[in-house]
Amino acid sequence: MLVSGTAPVWPNGSCDPDPEVQAQRCLEIILGALREAGAGPEHVAVVE
């Protein structure tokens, strides 16, 4: 599974102006995608 280009968008299409809230939202989206795939953060490999 590949997660790329995650944006901090809420289900209603809005985006909070606060960078900290944006980072938290991106992590929520990524963790949700991992859960749906039957994985967790321990299965993540960062590729640069």
Kindly give the residue spans of alpha helices, DSSP state H, lying in the chain: 19-36
Once rounded to an integer, what is the mean pLDDT over residues 4-26?
Answer: 93
Percent with pLDDT over 70 in the chain: 94
Give residue-wise pLDDT tens across range 23-36: 999 999 989 988 99
Residue with the two structure tokens 């990524």: 30
Q: Measured in whole angstroms, how far is the alpha carbon of residue 28 from the centre of its chain?
A: 5
pTM of the model: 0.77
Residue 30 or residue 19, greater confidence: 19
